[in-house]
Amino acid sequence: MALICDTGGVYALYDADDVHHANTKAALQIDTGPRLVPIVLMAEIDLLLTAHLGVDAALDFIRSVEAGAFPLAGMSAEDLTGCRELITQYRDLGIGLADASVVATAER
């Protein structure tokens, strides 16, 4: 089964002090299917890793993506339409493009 990664999950994997680190790492060891990262999340993940863990963590993540550990999931115009519809429908929850892209990728 494919896992759709979100920014918080990737960050937890890299930050050993994160409260979700152990569970995230264990989940990835149990499920060995592809770990898809919506391409929309790349800048957000880079920013978070760099700001909190440093450039080396961000570079390690980029190398992991290059090596195929986290295949990138592209966004089609139809996915973007789905994202817009989710953001509109759940406007009061503050869902943005990053969160909506995770849902769109999972739906596809």
d(CA 61, CA 91): 31
Q: How far apart are the first and last CA of the chain?
A: 13
The pTM score is: 0.89
Q: How many CA atoms lie within 13 A of 107 on its CB side?
A: 15
46 contact partners, CB below 8 Å, separation of at least 6: 58, 61, 62
Domain range annotation of the chain: 3-107
Residue 62 has a pLDDT of 98
Residue 66 has a pLDDT of 97
Residue 28 has a pLDDT of 87
What class, spelled out in words, does domain 3-107 have in CATH? alpha beta
Residue 32 has a pLDDT of 80
Q: What is the pLDDT of residues 32-90, one digit of tens each?
A: 889 999 999 999 999 999 999 999 999 999 999 999 999 999 999 999 999 999 999 99
Band of residue 98 on the pLDDT scale cut at 50, 70, 90: very high
Residue 1 has a pLDDT of 78
